[in-house]
Amino acid sequence: MAAEIVNPRSDNGAGAEQEAGGQPLDSFDPAFALHRGGKMAVQATVPVRDKEDLSLAYTPGVAKVCSAIAEQPDLVHDYTWKSSVVAVVTDGTAVLGLGDIGPEASLPVMEGKAILFKQFGGVDAVPIALACTDADEIVETVVRLAPSFGGVNLEDISAPRCFEIERKLQERLDIPVFHDDQHGTAVVTLAALRNAVRLSGRTLGELRAVISGAGAAGVAIAKMLVEAGIGDVALADRKGIISAGRTDLTPVKEEVASFTNKAGLTGSLEDALAGADVFIGVSGGTVAEDAVASMAKGAFVFAMANPNPEVHPEVAHKYAAVVATGRSDFPNQINNVLAFPGIFAGALQVRASRITEGMKLAAAEALASVVGDDLAADYVIPSPFDERVAPAVTAAVAAAARAEGVARR
């Protein structure tokens, strides 16, 4: 029998139905039951039991702390929640597999992200859904909110605006700005690929990878694989393989063309897969079985679209030595929750001013190392519920931040 879901802010159902878009809502559906009233709340960390507590938590005692921070601004990290809280910011334009559904409809996802920060990294997070989609307006808004936070996690913002927003925010802020759809996905993908390589006895430098999708995740994965030393990687968008010879590329894709596809491949995704060692899917759609069959012997297939992988595991296993997806009901789930809580925990721990490539590479190495000697074809990446994950990533990121000179304590 399923456990009863109890939300203290819920009216506890009573089976009442509400209308949404003309369709009745089933209040007994466990998803609606869990979300009723929201999934998070603010909780005090100090008691206010009497007049003395009140005078310390608020006026007049709080004035001493405010005055001290006014004289020494860095004290804000010691005497407020700033050093342990992240803003989870979205405009609702690229939500999960739902697309542009707007800020209100994105809030359940942002709340979910916030509770994952807390559950898996011990990091407090506040969901912020913005009612604007202009890149400069989003930047200006977040800059004005930034004094309250120790970091900014950008979430579910459509490409190519997400690249511009992240870059401009990091240029203007001295706290970490991290677009999880890009970098979290890239970190976990690299960790899984490192272990797949270790299992096969090869090296990253021997591999040629093909990425289906040139949006936020695809571009970030390509950059990280190049940083990690992969032999070659090519990306394909809806019009085919991204190459320097194409005249229809956006500025972001032009940049991608400058450091990928050393083999000079042209044509379709299927053309690129012939003889490839790695397939990474972050685009949706379906890859034909004969294209998968044309890959190199002992290939790796990471088909990460949700809910339907680009290559179903049953098909992938016919040809690939290691198969991963984005789903929790198959082995080797590429799940961002393996990365972002520990990355932010490590960055906040040392008051890092940014999250560097070196910190992300260190996170991937640490995540891969958790698997250890238990490495197997169906176990190249740990479970999000493995309690070793967050401490390992946190420690590696903090150490890398110190080594790269972006730590301030």
181 is in an annotated binding site: yes
- The set of catalytic residues is 58, 113
Q: Of 218, 183, 189, 175, nearest to 87 (Cα)?
A: 175
Q: What is the dihedral of CA 154, 158, 161, 162, to 10 degrees?
A: 30
78 is in an annotated binding site: no
Task: Scan for tokens 């799940």, then name that residue.
Answer: 335
332 is in an annotated binding site: no
Q: How far apart are CA 4 and CA 11, in angstroms?
A: 14
**Tell me, what amino acid is at 393?**
V
Strand ranges in 187-344 using DSSP code E only, listed in sequence order: 208-212, 232-237, 240-241, 278-281, 299-303, 320-325
Q: How are the residues of the chain apportioned to helix, strand and coil, as percentages rounded to the nearest 5?
A: 45, 15, 40
Task: Characterize 124-134 residue by residue with b for buried, 16 or more Cβ atoms within 10 angstroms of its Cβ, and e for exposed.
Answer: bbbbbbbeebe
Q: How far apart are CA 178 and CA 169, in angstroms?
A: 10
Task: State both tokens at 119.
Answer: 């559950």
Residues belonging to the binding site for (S)-malate are 306, 335
Residues belonging to the binding site for a divalent metal cation are 155-156, 181
Residues belonging to the binding site are 155-156, 181, 306, 335
